[in-house]
Amino acid sequence: MKKDEILNASRKEHRNKDLAEMEVVYQAGSHASRVGALVCCLLSLLSSVLAHTMIYSPWVIYFSIIATQWLVRFIKMKRKSDLVLTVLFFVVSIFAFVGFVSHLLEVRI
């Protein structure tokens, strides 16, 4: 194969995306998930210290996002470990959602 043929095949395989661009997008998502976890921790800490209560809503959102990321990884790469993490994060998001709803019901009553 000639150099041009190899480049064209690579472009088709990666849907015309540059490998460097794909790496940057991956790193951005990785950093964004860490910042999201940090913000959730800060919000939970502030609500605990200042209002003496636990807020669950940021955790519902955060773990739903993480579960979706791992689900996409499982769909694309078919690794069982990704499926296990998908289920784990989905279950944690359900627990956070139950905590959120129960807290809303306590406030309402």
DSSP letters of 6-45? HHHHHHHHTTT--HHHHHHHHHHHHHHHHHHHHHHHHHHH
Q: In which band, very low, low, confident or very high, does the pLDDT at 18 lie, cut at 50, 70 and 90?
A: confident
pLDDT of 14 reads 65
The pTM of the full predicted model, rounded to 2 decimals, is 0.74
Torsion angle in degrees (nearest 10) through CA of 25, 29, 30, 31? 100
User: What is the percent of the chain with per-residue pLDDT over 90, rounded to a whole number?
Assistant: 65
CA dist 44 and 47 (Å) reads 5
Q: Report yes or no: 46 and 37 within 8 Å, Cβ to Cβ.
A: no
pLDDT of 68 reads 94
CA dist 72 and 82 (Å) reads 9
Query: Mean pLDDT, to the nearest integer, of 76-96?
Result: 95
Q: In which band, very low, low, confident or very high, does the pLDDT at 83 lie, cut at 50, 70 and 90?
A: very high
Q: In which band, very low, low, confident or very high, does the pLDDT at 50 lie, cut at 50, 70 and 90?
A: very high
pLDDT value at 3 more than 90: no
